């Protein structure tokens, strides 16, 4: 594979509705797209999921853009054989910046699969034609509006719901949803919002209302607090922000602080690392699932391909395209199907095509780099 150029686009996509978490409210999604092209004219796409502000992690659109432009693209152009593995190994010399690295790694994964004429799912070892998915529901203006929103998603066909929670927005809304939908598979996600001493209170309402999974209630480095919460719990304790690489997963497994693993491609630095982490978790009896970060159709296609591989056994947070965007930049859209599932694209690479006309409509800037 010989690269000819890499294009970096900055894009703004309006969300269908505001999405609120303990970090704040997003009304639109700004992100970076990577377009890598070979000298033979084959094209691969990647997406950087870093947000405008460094709230979920220390990365942002601005830091990722700088890292991609000033360090990662020059490094990529120096590689004699720019495979995803060669790039990841070379980029390992730079500390952190996993979201920036992931954007290029997944573009190379798409490019290689297209060059081979294979779907990305098959190239990664995926065997599922459909994947089970759930829906993540942001913090709502009121409890009745939350219950109504959950009801709409259930009517649309979603079989599992995850509620965003934080101190002051937990027991009451969770209880209201449970009373209205007693048989619903219910997860919650706090995005590190709780102080370390809140474990007993979280356990009380989570077990009272039959929550199946509590995700990242404490700070990313609070391994002991998560371990104490997991001890004897009747729900899974899922780690997200805490797990960024092999050593962090090993520490969490050793402390018995993780009983479910959320793998986000952007957070861990790419598809290759994501599969490796999920396999290691599975060997230790911990199930994994793929988390989303409000990606466009490009990032969603990569996530769906990842979720089709054997290590991922729990339903993923990869909702249909219209859950977040009225107008996405890829075609065909992802549509919710029977049994709360999404179809895994079978075309070459990620199996969806970027609509350049729509992309131009929402693009803020574009820059092309050539070998």
Q: Structure tokens of 279?
A: 């396999």
Torsion angle of C-alpha atoms 54, 55, 57, 62, degrees rounded to 10: -20
* Cα–Cα distances in angstroms (integers) from residue 193 to residues 87, 310, 323, 368, in the given order: 35, 32, 25, 40
pLDDT in tens, the chain (371 residues): 789 999 999 999 999 888 878 777 888 899 999 999 999 999 999 999 999 999 899 999 999 999 999 999 999 999 999 999 999 999 999 999 999 999 999 999 999 999 999 999 999 999 999 999 999 999 999 999 999 999 999 999 999 999 999 999 999 999 999 999 999 999 999 999 999 999 999 999 999 999 999 999 999 999 999 999 999 999 999 999 999 999 999 999 999 999 999 999 999 999 999 999 999 999 999 999 999 999 999 999 999 999 999 999 999 999 999 999 989 999 999 999 999 999 999 999 999 999 999 999 999 999 999 98
Q: Structure tokens of 215?
A: 């995700």
Domains of the chain: 3-117+352-370 (3.30.390.10), 122-343 (3.20.20.120)
CA distance 180 to 151: 9
* Cα–Cα distances in angstroms (integers) from residue 189 to residues 170, 254, 342, in the given order: 10, 23, 22
Distance of CA 236 to the CA centre of its chain: 19
The SS3 of residue 125 is: coil
First to last CA, the chain: 13
At residue 26, the pLDDT reads 83
At residue 116, the pLDDT reads 96
Q: Structure tokens of 193?
A: 């919002």
DSSP letters, 37-66, are: EETTS-EEEEEE---SSSSSSS--HHHHHH
Question: Cα-flanking dihedrals φ and ψ of residue 155, to 5°?
Answer: -65, -30
Nearest alpha carbon to residue 362 among 332, 338, 327, 337? 327
Q: Structure tokens of 302?
A: 């990569």
Point out the catalytic residue in the list 39, 122, 162, 264: 264
CA distance 124 to 131: 15
Sequence-ordered strand ranges (E) for 258-362: 260-263, 288-290, 330-331, 341-343, 353-354
CA distance 266 to 293: 8
At residue 182, the pLDDT reads 97
Point out the catalytic residue in the list 39, 101, 122, 164: 164
β-pairing, 24-38 with 3-21?
Answer: antiparallel
At residue 23, the pLDDT reads 74
At residue 236, the pLDDT reads 98
Nearest alpha carbon to residue 110 among 264, 263, 271? 271
The SS3 of residue 161 is: strand
Whether 264 is a known active-site residue: answer yes
Nearest alpha carbon to residue 5 among 33, 32, 37? 37
Q: Structure tokens of 3?
A: 């690269």
């Amino acid at each position: 594979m010989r690269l000819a150029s890499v294009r970096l686009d900055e894009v703004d996509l309006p969300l269908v509705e505001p999405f609120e978490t303990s970090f704040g409210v997003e009304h639109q999604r700004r992100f970076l797209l990577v377009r890598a092209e070979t000298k033979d004219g084959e094209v691969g796409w990647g997406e950087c999921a870093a947000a405008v502000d460094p709230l979920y992690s220390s990365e942002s659109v601005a830091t990722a853009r700088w890292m991609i432009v000033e360090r990662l693209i020059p490094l990529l152009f120096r590689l004699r054989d720019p495979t995803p593995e060669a790039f990841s190994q070379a980029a390992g010399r730079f500390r952190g910046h996993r979201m920036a690295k992931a954007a290029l790694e997944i573009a190379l994964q798409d490019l290689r699969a297209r060059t081979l004429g294979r779907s990305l799912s098959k190239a990664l070892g995926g065997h599922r034609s459909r994947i089970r998915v759930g829906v993540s529901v942001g913090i709502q203006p009121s409890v009745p509006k939350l219950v109504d929103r959950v009801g709409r998603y259930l009517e649309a066909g979603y079989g599992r719901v995850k509620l965003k929670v934080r101190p002051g927005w937990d027991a009451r809304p969770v209880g209201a949803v449970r009373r209205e939908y007693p048989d619903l598979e219910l997860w919650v996600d706090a995005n590190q919002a709780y102080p370390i001493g809140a474990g007993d209170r979280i356990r009380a309402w989570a077990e009272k209302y039959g929550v199946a999974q509590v995700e990242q209630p404490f700070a990313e480095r609070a391994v002991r607090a998560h371990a104490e919460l997991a001890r004897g719990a009747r729900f899974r304790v899922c780690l997200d922000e805490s797990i960024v690489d092999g050593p962090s997963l090993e520490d969490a497994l050793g402390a018995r602080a993780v009983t479910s693993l959320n793998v986000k491609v952007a957070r861990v630095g790419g598809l290759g690392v994501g599969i490796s982490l999920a396999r290691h978790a599975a060997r230790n009896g911990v199930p994994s699932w793929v988390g989303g970060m409000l990606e466009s159709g490009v990032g969603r296609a990569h996530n769906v391909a990842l979720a089709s591989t054997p290590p991922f056994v729990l339903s993923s947070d990869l909702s249909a395209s219209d859950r977040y965007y009225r107008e996405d930049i890829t075609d065909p859209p992802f549509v919710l199907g029977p049994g709360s599932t999404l179809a895994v694209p079978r075309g070459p690479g990620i199996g969806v095509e970027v609509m350049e006309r729509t992309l131009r409509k929402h693009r803020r800037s574009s820059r092309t780099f050539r070998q």
